Amino acid sequence: MNLKKVTSVVLLAAAVSMAQSGLKGGSDGLHQQNAWTLGQWGVSAGLGMSGTLDSWAMSRGGIYSVNGKTYAMPKNSPSFDFNLYAAVGLLPFLDVGLSMPYYYDHIDDGMAGAAELWAAGFGDLELWTKIRAPFLKESNPFQVALLLQMSVPTGETGYGARVRHVWYMNDGATQAFTADQIILSASLIGTADLTKIDVPLRFNAYAGYVATIDYGANTLIWGAAANYIINPLLDAFLEFNAETRIEETHIPRMPYDLDPMVLTPGVRFHLPYHIDVALGLDIGLKNFNNPTFDTEKEMEQGHGFSIYHESEDGIKSKTYVQNEAHYGVSALIGWRLGGSTPKDSDGDGIDDKKDLCPHTPKDAPIDEKGCPLDSDKDSIPDFQDKCPNTPQGVAVDSIGCPLDSDKDGIPDSFDKCLNTQEGTSIDSTGCPLDSDKDGVPDSADKCPNTKEGITVDSTGCPADSDKDGVADSFDKCPNTKEGVSVDSIGCPLDSDKDGVPDSFDKCPNSKEGITVDSTGCPADSDKDGVADSFDKCPNTKEGVSVDTLGCPLDGDKDGVPDSFDKCPNSQEGEPVDSTGCPLDSDQDGVPDISDKCPNTLPGVKIDNKGCPVNKKQDLSKLKQGIQFKSNSAELTKASYATLDDIVRLLNQIPQANLEVQGHTDNTGSEELNNKLSQERAQTVVNYFVKKGISSDRVRAVGFGSSKPIADNKTKKGRTQNRRVELVPFQKD
């Protein structure tokens, strides 16, 4: 192809103004991806180009081989990528789109034409969908999206020199324009759009995974970008994009030497009719590793790794692995309409999404947020404000002028006395003059020179509420009864400091610290002759003999005062009843402290230890015969004989009532133990009733594991705790 053809191709690219090779139809920069979507039924379409004149972009060092013979490419050997894309928003957060690339490699030298290295052709059709996180509102500056892509192998085979993506490379014949297989990829995109908070910056970042189906290396695609919004018509941006193989093939993983990393500064114009134009300079990061374009150094960095090509005519050629061009240009022209098209309802030049006042009256001056200008910040727009320079913070009326309700010349915002009578002399705060600061205006003050801080009455003179001769400002007792003698601080005289003024104190010489009554004499609440200050039992009943501490006498120390103790000589430590006599719970004549069987039924003959002589009348023995099946409320067969003995005993003693108590060890849950113990006790009671015992004479109580009589940590202790107790009770 001659120079004329090359020129035509370049002019064609400039005329159609080019496309983006990152996210097809994106709204930022060139190669970057952002998390925004078009909006429902929003559409976009565009055309673009990226290209370079750097021959080293097609083969490292600009060297290639055909049929074993090596050739050098011309230094300026152009290579272009054209791209046509279209997209539509199906939902507010879901876009779908497609793009079709067209490639052109120009090597006007040697055998490049015969080997089809100098060629043009279509690339792989790309289909994609982008899903923005629907739970994030559009007003949120932080957005996240998922991009899913699939490339269909529609590209030309056997043509071209520059391999467009690192995952195209394989052990056999590598295609420059196609992966020659289906490629799947998924990317996560994040956007921080600070324009939502009035900062003219937007940051984008993405990371994705490219999966090959048959051959080639699975690859990580990643990048980041910063966009500065200069004005509504122009953005400036800086992008970084990279392809990094994460799977090693015949070409080792050497990301910096063999995988592309590109830095792209550029600008994007937002033109009328929803048209965007973007221009950028692509700079390969390898420039920083070989800034002098040293061929020998370049080949060393490539480590001699080659890519093999084969034309449709079977001519075999070889190029050397290259990661990216030293330099290049990218550009796009895009058009979008619908879902995300900015609106300007009030025609003030500010998009509704950014306009905080979208219904501003026509021709009203506005600020950068789209709201009417209010120079003095008094909430009255300048176009309505008659006093547009009112100091900030001053309350204004409906026309924007300072309020002055009492017409004293002090605006209400600074007036501390808004209702001053007209004609009254005022100070700088708008309040009536008060020379001595006592709260009484000079015009009504009869004592205008009262010392500051002294409480005054309505006439401005020092107040003396109780008329004791001590001004209230110094009076610690301002409510002293009239006629009572007071001290220097205005309080009633109290010589013995007992709280009863001398005027009313019948015992004016009481010792300090002694509690006194209303007459000033030592208090004795219970009238036992011991003053409350020394009385340890100040509520003793009247007439009860007390000791020196004021407490009831209790000779045998059993807790029952001698005045009520029917057994005043009980042994110390022996349990007694309310009358002070030894307890005998079962009324068998043997005190509980000596009774080995404290639950004996009434009328049963006992021995000197309080136990029934007849063992079949001994509840402590009978209870041992009541047994249940394991973890059950079902009685064992051997238990029924014992139960029948108890029934006979209850029939013999009709006045006896019996409480059956069920107990368990602590094995198992508390809920289960409570239930089991109650059910077992109830089983025994049910048997008694079945045998003719009146139901009001027996009752069942389950205590679970709450009342152990032995240590639950031992097997023996747990056995003792699993028991039935038979306890007599008195009916109410």
8 Å CB contact between 315 and 267: no
The pLDDT value given to residue 585:
67
Residue 6: pLDDT above 60?
no
What is the residue range of 693's domain? 615-728
Specify whether the CB–CB gap between 492 and 505 falls below 8 A: no
Dihedral of alpha carbons 573, 576, 579, 584, sign: negative
Q: What is the pLDDT of residues 609-656, one digit of tens each?
A: 768 877 778 888 888 889 888 788 899 898 899 999 999 999 999 998
Q: What local confidence, expressed as pLDDT, does residue 19 receive?
A: 29
What is the average pLDDT across 536-543? 77
Is the predicted pLDDT of residue 16 greater than 50, yes or no? no
Listed residue (596, 599, 623, 604) closest to 680, CA to CA? 623
Tens digits of per-residue pLDDT, 221-243?
Answer: 999 999 999 999 999 999 999 99
482: helix, strand or coil: coil
Q: Is the pLDDT of residue 250 over 50?
A: yes
pLDDT band at residue 683 under the 50/70/90 scheme: very high
* Residue 521 backbone zone (phi > 0: left; psi -120 to 50: alpha; other: beta): beta
Q: Tell whether the torsion through CA atoms of 510, 516, 517 and 523 is positive or negative.
A: negative
Domain boundary among 309, 337, 365: 337
- Where is average pLDDT lowest: 146-150, 257-261, 666-670? 257-261
Position 7 pLDDT exceeds 60: no
Chain segment 408-445, per-residue pLDDT in tens: 778 877 777 878 777 777 777 778 777 777 777 877 77
- Detail the DSSP E strand segments found in 74-200: 76-91, 94-105, 119-122, 125-132, 142-152, 183-193
Cβ(221)–Cβ(207) below 8 Å: yes
Q: Considering the entire predicted model, what is its pTM? A: 0.47
476, part of any domain: no
Distance in angstroms (rounded) separating the CA atoms of residues 373 and 366: 5
- Which one of 337, 358, 377 terminates a domain? 337
pLDDT > 50? residue 663: yes
**What's the chain's length in residues?**
732
In 3-state terms, what secondary structure has residue 120?
A: strand
Element (H, E) at 726: strand 723-728
Lowest mean pLDDT across 255-269, 510-524, 563-577: 563-577
Find all residues with CB under 8 Å of 698, minimum gap 6, and list them. Answer: 650, 657, 658, 659, 660, 685, 688, 689
Given this model, what pLDDT does residue 200 score?
96
pLDDT at 11 over 50: no
Residue 572 lies in a domain: no
Residue 305 has pLDDT above 80, yes or no: no
Is 113 among the domain residues?
yes
Cα-to-chain-centroid distance, residue 375: 40
Mean pLDDT of the chain: 82
Which range among 118-132, 498-512, 608-622 has the greatest average pLDDT? 118-132
- The pLDDT value recorded for residue 301 is 65
In a domain, 289, yes or no: yes
User: Any residues with CB less than 8 A from the CB of 65 and at least 6 apart, and which?
Assistant: 71, 317, 318, 319
**Among the listed residues 598, 642, 625, 628, the one whose alpha carbon sits nearest the alpha carbon of residue 650:** 642
Beta bridge partners of 69: 66
What is the structure's pLDDT at 149?
95
The answer, yes or no, to whether residue 12 has pLDDT greater than 70, is no
Lowest pLDDT segment from 134-148, 357-371, 648-662: 357-371
At CB < 8 A and 24+ separation, what contacts does 615-623 make? Answer: 616/645, 616/648, 616/649, 617/649, 619/646, 619/658, 619/726, 619/727, 619/728, 622/646, 622/649, 622/726, 623/723, 623/724, 623/725, 623/726
Which CATH number fits the domain that encloses residue 715?
3.30.1330.60
Q: pLDDT tens for residues 331-349? A: 999 999 876 445 666 667 6
The residue type at 555: G
Is 307 a member of any domain?
Answer: yes
The region of weakest confidence among 98-112, 556-570, 589-603 is 556-570
pLDDT above 90 (res 535): no
Determine what percent of the chain is predicted with pLDDT higher than 90: 33
Could you read off the pLDDT of 694-725 as tens digits, one per residue? 999 999 999 999 999 899 999 998 888 888 98
Angle subtended at Cα 352 by Cα 347 and Cα 356, rounded to the nearest 5 degrees: 100
Query: Per-residue confidence at 492, pLDDT binned at 50, 70, 90?
Result: confident
Integer Cα distance of 566 and 627 in angstroms: 44
Predicted local distance difference test score (pLDDT) of residue 1: 40
In this prediction, residue 470 carries a pLDDT of 80
Considering 316, 337, 358, which residue would you say is the last residue of a domain?
337
Residue 376: both structure tokens together: 């003095």
pLDDT at residue number 342: 52
Residue 505 in this model has a pLDDT that exceeds 50: yes
Residue in the block written with tokens 């100091």: 391
Residue 213 placed within a domain: yes
As a whole number of angstroms, the distance between CA 546 and CA 351 comes to: 95
Q: How confident is the model at residue 516 (pLDDT cuts 50, 70, 90)?
A: confident
Report which of 155, 104, 70, 72 is spatially closest to residue 1, judged by C-alpha positions: 104
The band of 23, judged by pLDDT with boundaries at 50, 70 and 90, is: very low
The confidence score (pLDDT) of residue 15 equals 29
- The pLDDT-based confidence of 14 (bands split at 50, 70, 90) is very low
| Structural domain includes residue 619 | yes
More confident call, 612 vs 304? 612
pLDDT digits (tens, 9 = 90+) for 254-265: 766 678 899 999
Query: Which has more confidence, 90 or 601?
Result: 90
Of 157, 535, 483, 405, residue with least CA distance to 544: 535
Residues 6+ apart with CB under 8 A from 632: none
Q: How far apart are the first and last CA of the chain?
A: 121
pLDDT score recorded for residue 343: 61
**Interatomic CA distance for residues 47 and 13, integer angstroms:** 9
> 700 has which bridge partners?
660
* 108: nearest Cα among 62, 169, 68, 163: 62
- Count of C-beta atoms within a 10 Å radius of residue 438: 22
Give the count of domains, the chain.
Answer: 2
CATH at residue 79: 2.40.160.40
Count the Cβ atoms, other than its own, within 10 Å of residue 40.
Answer: 16
Rounded to whole angstroms, the Cα distance separating 144 from 142 reads 7
Position 112 pLDDT exceeds 80:
yes
The closest alpha carbon to 724, from 691, 672, 682, 668, belongs to 682
Cα–Cα dist 369/348, whole Å:
10
Average pLDDT over residues 551-566: 71
**Is the pLDDT confidence value at 176 over 80?**
yes
